[in-house]
Amino acid sequence: MKVEELLTHNNKLRVKLTEENRKYYEDMLVYIRLSYDKSEKETEEILSELLGHLIEAQQEGRTAEDVFGKDPKKYADNIIGELPKMVSKERLLLGSMSLLYFLGVSVFFIGIVRMINQYVIPIDQMTNEYYILSVVVKTLTSIPIAFLLIFGALQYLRWACFKNISRVKDFFILWGWEMLSIGIFVLVYYLVPDIGPVIEVSGWFVALLGIFLYLAGSFVKRISTNN
């Protein structure tokens, strides 16, 4: 099966698990999926296989702990060690998809903010000034920061697997990280001075560009999951 089909199959079968078994399995699922450099297809195939074994065991009256042991993290680490790494094409597709999604959302948000400003604040013209070098510097600065922040969030999610962290605590930790991320991007936006040639672009055009970039990211994702 293709990656997309494996994901759909996994989602359908997981509803058959008891609450206890589902919590055990989903912790392993998240932990293994966030191993980053492993082949996505091989990862989903092994997760589907584990789920099948667990459903069979559950029908026999056994629990996930009976099947995989009392140390799920160690079991998952052993599986990760056996998985093949991503090939160069997979890495390229994943990186391109992530970059296009980030740029798409960012550009769309900027376009929406500019359009709101045009309607809320009295402005004679329907275009906004963009300093080309400033845009380049902000973009080149924001991309690595975004990847580091996302990496940090994913590392936390991976660390949180197999731990009994309350939903409230988990929410506030991720919310705090999100607020920190927004603050860093706002800081970058205001610290970079206006430099370079100026162009005037409508907020509508910027928002549409963001949508185009996001759709391009979705297209790359479709190529990746259909391999």
Domain boundaries along the sequence of the chain: 3-82, 88-225
Q: What's the pLDDT score for residue 124?
A: 47
Work out the angle between the directed axes of helices 3-14 and 40-59 (0-180°, nearest 10): 20
Q: Are 81 and 185 in contact (CB under 8 A)?
A: no
Query: Given this model, what pLDDT does residue 192 score?
Result: 87
Q: Please enumerate in sequence order all residues whose Cβ is within 8 A of that of 42, keeping only pairs 6 or more positions apart, or say none.
A: 83, 84
pLDDT digits (tens, 9 = 90+) for 162-191: 887 777 888 888 888 888 888 888 888 888
Model pLDDT for residues 117-155, shown as the tens digit of each residue: 766 655 545 557 788 898 889 888 888 888 888 888 888
Model pTM score: 0.73
Confidence of residue 161 (pLDDT cuts 50, 70, 90): confident
Give the pair of three-digit tokens for residue 217: 């990211």
Instruction: State the chain's mean pLDDT as an integer.
Output: 84
Please name the fold of domain 3-82: c-terminal domain of poly(a) binding protein (1.10.1900)
The helix/strand/coil state of 106 is helix
Give me the pLDDT at residue 225, please: 66
Rounded to 5 degrees, what are φ and ψ at 125?
A: -105, 155
Looking up tokens 């197999």, which residue turns up?
Answer: 162
Integer angstrom CA distances of residue 222 from 5, 26, 44, 55, 211: 12, 24, 16, 29, 16
Per-residue pLDDT band at 29 (split at 50, 70, 90): very high
CA dihedral 13→18→22→24, nearest 10 degrees, is -140
Tokens of 160: 């949180």
